[in-house]
Structure 1
Amino acid sequence: MASFTRTLPASWYCSSPLYQLERRAVFLKAWYLLGPVTRFQVVGEEVGYEVAQVSLTACRMSETPGDIKVYDGKTGLEFKAYITETGLLFSTISDEAPSFDEFFPDLKPLIGTVDFTKLPYRRSIKYEGNFNWKTMVDGYQECLHCQYTHPSFSVYYPPTFYTVYNHKNFSQHVADPKKADDGLFLYFFPNCTLNVYGGGMSSFRVCPTEKPGVTRMEFDYYHQETGEKFEEYFKFVRQVAMEDYELCEKAQENLERGIYAEGILNPVKETGVAFYQQRVLDLVCAQHEAETESTTDTHYETNNHMRQWKLVDPATS
């Protein structure tokens, strides 16, 4: 009998000790999309971010293109940052992250298709939602729900031929493989997205708080147009975002009430979910093993959950 890929258990979405382990295993070792260079136009203006309880600040230091520094918002120490040839700024939040090219070894050809220096910054919004960070990423990484939850989006990007191509630490979403240039939709592990379509670009960061059931969503919007044309685009993308928001809150309720424990992932339509969940699993288990070997003072609850952390490798399903 063939093996099937199982989801992460519901406990992963509800446990504080598990989130703290994720923070050390995943978030401190990753790179994050802060935005295109057009987000940082004013010399000396500080743009603040917070990822996994780490405050960071990005600031354009001079009129020289690309002279942008990213540093710890509390200590002032500089973080590793990288600006791509087409104008996207990425940053780390600790020294534990590898180099940009090691983390995203095959990303540049994809983002090289868009000149992000030509997309003016328009607006940012942020708010909290009552769901775990992975609940939102689960939704972004599959589109089985799109036809029913996003009827307006599905008109332009029908999910019939929807495909996800997974790479090391990122995924590319393609609505129709025969129209590879019809928009650019990327997920950057663990919690950032980039969506270029309709004359504009939106990106969001799924920022976990210290409470596993509460997540802060941060959105940035860019567009060639101003005024009515931008507002029309903004209204459309915000409708899609709020549809996801409502779906995630309902899903989190089921997880916390024990209505859903774990299940089987569709081997064709949910490869994006299997990819990122397996990545989280591998990193968390490796971190737990390393910490267990170095100390005997481990939390009972964490060890209890560890006995549940079993997923089948997607490559064997």
Structure 2
Amino acid sequence: MASLPRTLPASWYCSSPLYQLERKAVFLKGWYLLGPVTKFQLGEKVGYEVAQVSLVACRMSEELRDIKVFDENTGSEFKSYITETGLVFSTISDNAPSFDDFFPDLKPLIGRVDFTKLPYRRSVKYEGKFNWKTMVDGYQECLHCQYTHPSFSVYYPPTFYTVYNHKNFSQHVADPKKADDGLFLYFFPNCTLNVYGGGMSSFRVCPTDKPGITRMEFDYYHQSSGEKFEEYFKFVRQVAMEDFELCEKAQENLEKGVYSEGILNPEKETGVAYYQQRVLELVCAQHETEKEPEPRNAYGYSSRNDVVASQLVDPASS
């Protein structure tokens, strides 16, 4: 019998040294959804911050797709990519691979929607008392949806909810028989894209330098303005706040030691298992590359490597 997938230890949600490994192993090597081309207006700088890297995106001319992304501190240009259907992605360091290597299977899915036809309406930004992975855990499974999101479940019943995992992204399908009924995507490590109800929302789960604090950034787009948009906005914000409250409660339990490590449902939590395994593999590989002999103290521990190593294998470490 195959072994069941296990969660990351709770210590990974509370540890500053482990976040520094995540930053180098995961975030500096990723691609990030900045939004459709409709978000960027000529002459305006749109600012972002991902894993303590500040960047600005600028539309350089009247051409809708003439958008470049720069390091706000150095002015150097980051690698960016605009899809045929109008989505803007960017890196935050030179360590990231090419867009096609990072997302080899993505284009057929996002080719279903012409994002150049979705006007930008509003953004919302705030901090939450939870680790970035706590929020991604919630997005990547829908076992909680029927109870936590009753209004959303009316339109997208979780009975047949399925997650299809690809290289560095996941597609969520409420009913496999209605695969075209909305587009719900998670982009590893921390971005989402949700197209339904005549509009589109996306959010970025941005880690701060404190493992228990995360900044949430939401962008909203809709065909209509005025009352129709406000109805859509109210609906999606309700779902977002339900998740927010759930994540803060979960983080409290993680930090209090109520939970240490567990087993994931092999059918209903494949999205969680997939992304957590990616984090685990990348962080462990980064740790191996950084291992080097260090002076040890009287107790036999080095200043850095042994502390991090204990958290890689011991759920009780913090």
Corresponding residue for 1:231? 230
1:301 is displaced (CA, Å) by 1.9
Corresponding residue for 1:48? 47
Question: How far, CA to CA, are the matches of 2:5 and 2:225 in structure 1?
Answer: 46
Question: How far, CA to CA, are the matches of 1:3 and 1:89 in structure 2?
Answer: 39
Question: How far, CA to CA, are the matches of 1:295 and 1:66 in structure 2?
Answer: 50
Q: Which residue, out of 303, 310, 315, partners 1:304?
A: 310
Q: Normalising by structure 2, report the TM-score.
A: 0.95
1:303 is displaced (CA, Å) by 1.9
Letter in 1 for 2:101: E
> Contact between 1:147 and 1:158, CA under 8 Å: does it hold in 2?
yes
Letter in 2 for 1:48: G
Question: How far, CA to CA, are the matches of 2:210 and 2:122 in structure 1?
Answer: 27
Instruction: Please list the CA deviations of residues 58-99 of structure 1 after superposition, one character each: whole Å capped at 9, or x if unmatched.
Output: 000100221101000111100000000000000000000000
1:294 is displaced (CA, Å) by 8.2
> Contact between 1:29 and 1:96, CA under 8 Å: does it hold in 2?
yes
Corresponding residue for 1:159? 158
Asked if 1:175 corresponds to 2:166, the answer is: no
Q: Map 1:42-191; keep pairs closer than 5 Å.
A: 42-191=41-190
1:307 is displaced (CA, Å) by 2.6
1:3 is displaced (CA, Å) by 1.1
RMSD over aligned CA atoms reads 1.2
Question: How far, CA to CA, are the matches of 1:238 and 1:37 in structure 2?
Answer: 23
Corresponding residue for 1:253? 252
Corresponding residue for 1:284? 283
Question: How far, CA to CA, are the matches of 2:3 and 2:198 in structure 1?
Answer: 43
> Contact between 1:9 and 1:308, CA under 8 Å: does it hold in 2?
yes
Question: How far, CA to CA, are the matches of 2:309 and 2:260 in structure 1?
Answer: 18
Question: How far, CA to CA, are the matches of 2:109 and 2:294 in structure 1?
Answer: 43
Instruction: Please list the CA deviations of residues 128-185 of structure 1 after superposition, one character each: whole Å capped at 9, or x if unmatched.
Output: 0000000000000000000000000000000000000000000000000000000000
SS of the residue corresponding to residue 178 of structure 1 reads helix
1:299 is displaced (CA, Å) by 3.7
Corresponding residue for 1:15? 15
Corresponding residue for 1:315? none
Gaps of 5+ in 2: 296-302
| Structure 1 runs of 4+ with >4 Å offset | 293-297
Q: Give the total of aligned pairs.
A: 308
Question: How far, CA to CA, are the matches of 2:237 and 2:293 in structure 1?
Answer: 47
Corresponding residue for 1:208? 207
SS of the residue corresponding to residue 243 of structure 1 reads helix
Asked if 1:266 corresponds to 2:265, the answer is: yes
Question: How far, CA to CA, are the matches of 1:295 and 1:151 in structure 2?
Answer: 54
> Contact between 1:292 and 1:298, CA under 8 Å: does it hold in 2?
no
Instruction: Please list the CA deviations of residues 208-260 of structure 1 after superposition, one character each: whole Å capped at 9, or x if unmatched.
Output: 00000000000000000010100000000000000000000000000000000
Asked if 1:25 corresponds to 2:31, the answer is: no
> Contact between 1:163 and 1:269, CA under 8 Å: does it hold in 2?
yes
Question: How far, CA to CA, are the matches of 1:151 and 1:108 in structure 2?
Answer: 32
SS of the residue corresponding to residue 122 of structure 1 reads strand
1:273 is displaced (CA, Å) by 0.1
Q: Normalising by structure 1, report the TM-score.
A: 0.95
1:304 is displaced (CA, Å) by 1.4
Corresponding residue for 1:37? 37
Gaps of 5+ in 1: 310-317
Instruction: Please list the CA deviations of residues 19-57 of structure 1 after superposition, one character each: whole Å capped at 9, or x if unmatched.
Output: 0000000000000000000000x2120000000000000
**What is the percentage of aligned positions where both structures have the same residue?**
83
Letter in 2 for 1:104: F
> Contact between 2:105 and 2:166, CA under 8 Å: does it hold in 1?
yes
Question: How far, CA to CA, are the matches of 2:293 and 2:237 in structure 1?
Answer: 47
Query: Residue 112 and residue 294 in structure 1: after superposition, are their counterparts in 2 closer, same or farther (change >3 A)?
Result: farther
Question: How far, CA to CA, are the matches of 1:179 and 1:33 in structure 2?
Answer: 26
